[in-house]
A and B are shown apart, each in its own frame.
Chain A
Amino acid sequence: MSIYTMGIDVGSTASKCVIMKDGKDIVAKSLVAVGTGTSGPARAIAEVLENAKMSREQMDFVLATGYGRNSLDGLADMQMSELSCHAKGATYLFPDVRTVIDIGGQDVKVIEIENGMMKNFVMNDKCAAGTGRFLDVMARVLEVRVEDLGDLGDKSTKEIGISSTCTVFAESEVISQLAVGTDKCDIIAGIHRSVAGRVSGLCNRVGVRDRVVMTGGVAQNHGIVKALVDQLQHEIFTSPLTQYNGALGASLFAYQKALKKQQ
């Protein structure tokens, strides 16, 4: 009989779920663009179950991860840190991965992987600079959609420097640039370099080894990925499942737990 497991990644800005069969095949996935403390987690769970045409009772094990992993009140059988789950998910997607860069809504994690296991990691300090929140703030100031930042940055023709020290200061720099008529695309490319500068500093604390994989919602912004490639001088791989990576890892861990439970 097949084993069905669900991974739930309750992030700070989005809730993601993945249902897997026998720890190998992805049966269904869901994503709701609001995170912990909202209706997002419950909606994402309902949606993934509906997509899989299954019920919660049919799940052999449900494992929660992400910033809001402790807030699911009985919906999950267990919780694990998102670092472990991102390492697991990235290893599923890219078996020879050695470095995972995960830029989430409010933090950045760089994970060193050895033989498929997390060996070391660093996280950003308690500061929004270099995170998805930083991009949200900038997109709002620039009056563009955050998902359009990558394409707009491609049109840049002039290099503009934006500070990577502090979101608040960087925001005021962007406002100053807008006030003097600087092209938005140039500002956006500057923002991408700013995020990449902050993140590459963190990467260097762990050490970057190939293959480098980037996960989390920000990995969908090809402007950030390109700026990071330029700064790290390493090729970076992403997957269409990048935003589901934490939930995917949680579902894989859930499979291991389900097997243990059966023994």
Chain B
Amino acid sequence: MSIETIVKEFSAVAANPKGQLKAYKDAGKKCIGVMPYYAPEELVYAAGMMPFGMWGSNSKTIQRAKEYCATFYCTIAQLDLEMLLDGTMDLLDGVITPTICDTLRPMSQNIRVAMSEKLPCIFLAHPQNRFADFGKQFCMDQYDHVKGELEKIAGHEIKSEDIAKAIKVYNKSRAARREFVKLASEHCDVIDPIMRSAVLKAAWFMDKAEYTEKLEALNAELKALPAAKWNGVKVVTSGIICDNPVLLKVFKDNNVAIAADDVAHESRAFRTDASEEGDPMMALVEQFTNTDYDILLYDPQSSKNRRGEFVANLVKESGAQGLVLFMQQFCDPEEMEFPYLKRALDAAGIPFIKLGVDQQMRDFGQAATAIQAFADVLSVQ
């Protein structure tokens, strides 16, 4: 298949999650909604069910969810609830609600109250102190709880060998996505920011084995291409999510390519693999406890600003000239981390811009001005 055909297929999936959900249901699959962040999707997959990513929507306006949420509340979480209330995600058989930030914790209870008996809501609390043995034990207890709830929905036990198989499928998928991120940068004349986003976004709505097969085919086609002749600039993106094609078109129009990302919806979700050796449940636990450099994860050495330096190094190593930070409206963790990120970027001499974004935004005039001007700044450096 040609690059164009494969990207078109991924784009169609990314643009129509509801259609994708219906297709899996029509095929007889049970589907489980997976809210951000770090839910052990492998357990859903091992149960023979379809994990379905829930990262808000770029086309909806919050109406019904307002009944349950305070005014200044994360739009992604509110839009997830909106989609559960307005019927978009009616076909789900359950939803996993991780509680890793101060918004998601109460949201898990809002969803439980709002959906009542209609939809099983699986509570998941990750440990703050994830490096210590007691943290791992806490995580194991939580994952056991998730596994038990999923077994009730699936109607059968989730066997260890099936979890081990799921880990292999997911590791393969993560590796393919990491490779795609590199290839998309190397061939940014072919893979523009809109395509890049669609390819990565489709992973949340597809069976991972099917997705990986298609992505590996795309990667093979990209590898066969000659090196790109790129006259524009390259940036690293950072933030929770930046999947709006209208906003990404501004990047494309101004010859701004994405060299790498530090985005929760993209690379932060597939940086860390799970071990394929030993107890598969412990492998999933350690996959989480080995995850690092994330705003949402407690860092006992936070005064060293390791994360800020990690992001600054990502910019340098990826060959980008600057960083674009998508600041999700009302995201306290991202806002609070910003001064530290700024300090690290300033120390490394890396130019950056911060764009305030929200999934309910429909006009990106101001962002377009900033991105165009940033491209001007980077092109003369």
Residues of A at the B interface (CB closer than 8 Å) are 67, 80-84, 107, 117-123, 125-126
The answer for the CA separation of A53 and B320 in the assembled complex, in Å, is 48
A67-B365, A126-B366 are contacts. A117–B373 as well, Cβ < 8 Å?
A: no
Contact digits for B367-379, partner A, Cβ 8 Å, 1 yes 0 no:
0011011001100
Q: Which residue of A lies closest to B363 (CB)?
A: A126
Q: Answer whether residue B106 sits at the interface, using C-beta atoms and an 8 A cutoff.
A: no
Closest to B372 in A: A81
Assembly CA distance A82 to B365 (angstroms): 12
Q: B380 interface residue, CB < 8 Å from A? A: yes
List 11 A-B residue pairs with CB atoms under 8 Å apart, sorted by A's residue number. A67-B365, A81-B369, A83-B369, A83-B372, A83-B373, A107-B369, A118-B377, A122-B354, A125-B356, A126-B356, A126-B361
How far in angstroms is the closest Cβ of chain B from A147?
Answer: 26
B246 to chain A, nearest CB (A): 13
Cβ-defined contact, A120 with B369, below 8 A = no
> B366 contacts which chain A residues (CB < 8 A)?
107, 123, 126
In the complex, chain A residues whose CB is within 8 Å of the CB of B135:
none
Check if B376 sits within 8 Å of A80, measured CB to CB.
yes
Tell me if B351 counts as interface (CB < 8 A to partner A).
yes
Alpha-carbon separation in the docked complex, A107 to B376 (Å): 19
Contact present for A118 and B365 (CB under 8 Å): no
- Could you tell me the dominant secondary structure of chain B's interface residues? helix
Residues in B neighbouring A122, C-beta threshold 8 A:
354
Q: CB-nearest residue of chain B relative to A106?
A: B366
Whether B373 lies near A118 (C-beta < 8 A) is: yes
- Which residues from B are CB-within-8-Å of A84? 372-373, 376
**B376 lies within 8 A of A81 (CB):** yes
Contacts of B361 in A (CB 8 A): 126
The residue that A117 contacts in the complex, of B351, B353, B380, with Cβ under 8 A, is: B380
* A-side contacts of B353, CB under 8 Å: 121
Interface string of B325-360 (1 = CB under 8 A from A): 000000000000000000000000001011010000
Inter-chain contact A120/B351, CB cutoff 8 Å = yes
Are A118 and B376 within 8 A (Cβ)?
Answer: yes
Q: A120-B351, A125-B356, A126-B356 are in contact. Are A67 and B376 (CB under 8 A)?
A: no
Contacting residues, chain A, for B376 (C-beta < 8 A)? 80-81, 83-84, 118
Is A120 a contact partner of B365 (Cβ separation < 8 A)? no
Chain A residue at minimum C-beta to C-beta distance from B369: A81
B369 touches A82 (CB 8 A): yes
* Distance A230 CA – B71 CA, assembled complex (angstroms): 35
- Please tell me which one of the listed residues B370, B372, B380 contacts residue A80 in the complex, with CB atoms under 8 A apart: B372
Question: Measured between alpha carbons, how far is A118 from B369 in the docked complex, in Å?
Answer: 14
